[in-house]
Amino acid sequence: MDKMQIINEAEQVLMHTYSRYQLILDKGDGVYLYDTDGKKYLDFAAGIAVFALGYNNKEYNDALKAQIDKLLHTSNYYYNVPTLNAAKKLAKASGMDRVFFTNSGTEAIEGAVKLARKYYFNKHGKADSEIIAMNHSFHGRSMGALSVTGNPKYREAFEPLIGGTVFAEYNNYEDVASKVTEKTAAILMETLQGEGGLYPADPEFLKKIRALCDEKGILLILDEIQCGMGRCGAMYCYQKYGVEPDIMTTAKALGCGVPVGAFAAKEEVAAAFVPGDHGTTYGGNPFATAAVSKVFDLFESENVLENVNEVGAYLAERLEEFKAEHDCVKDHRGFGLMQGLEFTVPVKDIILRAMDKGLIIIAAGANVIRFLPPLVITKAHVDEMIAILNECL
């Protein structure tokens, strides 16, 4: 079957929910992907921040193969060892006490919001809580996650959504504080906004929000689905700020390709849930959590965080140079291996040219290019990317 036949047949049977590129990926190795024609691509998207360890990591693959031969699924009526191991490692890495495994980041957001509302209900004895979320945020596409996503283009066709959400300006403490009422159960934000254009939380802003939550008895929920799991140079981005949330969400690189997410919370907050309040059939099954457990092991044995900090600093230098050399580049934002360039023009054509030259990059909005490579890239890969990007301009 040739390329266009595959694309045409896919367009006939798949729902038209994605504007896919005319590219059929076949395999991956290290930080490179290969299409069905054998063409090689340097990957600076990592499946939208998922493949932190790169492709075809033998230890990771072997761990999954071994679990396939033992047990894939049990349901949550029973215990299993991979889930215990993964939960202990996630709790230690995040500084949280209790973990709930989901199938995706969106489900992690759903669970985090439910937990915050149940905590409020137990505390106040009434179900009238509100969540303060941020403008330009992105938390997922289910009805609950859309309700706390601060971008009208994702929301308007699906309204009415779940009520009780108030939106405030990210990095504007006064605006957030002005939205707090006696009904506020939680303040929810990404520690570093991804889809919204690669905007990190201002350190002073985040610390003041934490203090506000402590003062008012409000929960702080930090969405680390894209910016967590080492991408910003700490296992979770909030750790770079010296701030801890009450509830956090994680996914994407948590399973490095296996669909898995989680939300985790401090003991007092997690205790709001009792049997029957929340559940999942597939979430936390032994196959997914075997992947999670191995990912944490490999982050340690392969010194992933050290590499992110070293190569991330180099990427920042090269992107600053790139910005200085090109008038069409307006701004450079982000840190670690989650960085972006804002252009004065739409970036779609640049992304297409890059793909033609063997580089995969993705956008964040119409005029921002996101750089989300595997966390095992080297400085040489950064140089290779910059050289191709220069050709594209």
Q: Based on the domain organization, do 11 and 91 belong to the same domain?
A: no
Residue 46's domain spans which residues?
Answer: 3-53+303-392
Q: Could you tell me if 126 and 227 lie in one domain?
A: yes
Mean pLDDT of 87-100: 98
CA distances from 17 to 9, 118, 141, 227 (A): 15, 33, 12, 24
DSSP 245-270: -SEEEE-GGGTTTS--EEEEE-HHHH
Same domain, 219 and 98: yes
- pLDDT tens-place string over residues 283-333: 999 999 999 999 999 999 999 999 999 999 999 999 999 999 999 999 999
The model's confidence at residue 1, banded by pLDDT at 50, 70 and 90, is confident
Residue 185 predicted with pLDDT over 90? yes
Mean pLDDT along residues 343-348? 96
Coil, strand, or helix at residue 207? helix
Measuring CA to CA, which residue among 61, 103, 50 is closest to residue 360?
Answer: 50
pLDDT band at 356 (very low <50, low <70, confident <90, very high): very high
Q: Out of 301, 326, 357, pick the residue that ends a domain.
A: 301
Q: Which two tokens stand for residue 268?
A: 């007092």
Q: In this predicted model, what pLDDT tens digit does every residue of 207-258 receive, in sequence order?
A: 999 999 999 999 999 999 999 999 999 999 999 999 999 999 999 999 999 9
Mean pLDDT of the chain: 97
The pLDDT assigned to 287 comes to 98
The predicted model gives 97-109 an average pLDDT of 98
Amino acid in position 229: M
pTM of the model: 0.96
Mean pLDDT computed over 358-374: 96
Contact by Cβ (8 Å): 86, 293: yes
Instruction: Kindly tell me the sign of the dihedral angle through the C-alpha atoms of 249, 252, 255, 259.
Output: positive
User: Are 265 and 319 members of one domain?
Assistant: no
215 and 364 housed in the same domain: no
Claim to verify: residue 236 and residue 248 sit in the same structural domain: yes
In the predicted structure, residue 55 carries a pLDDT above the cut 90: yes
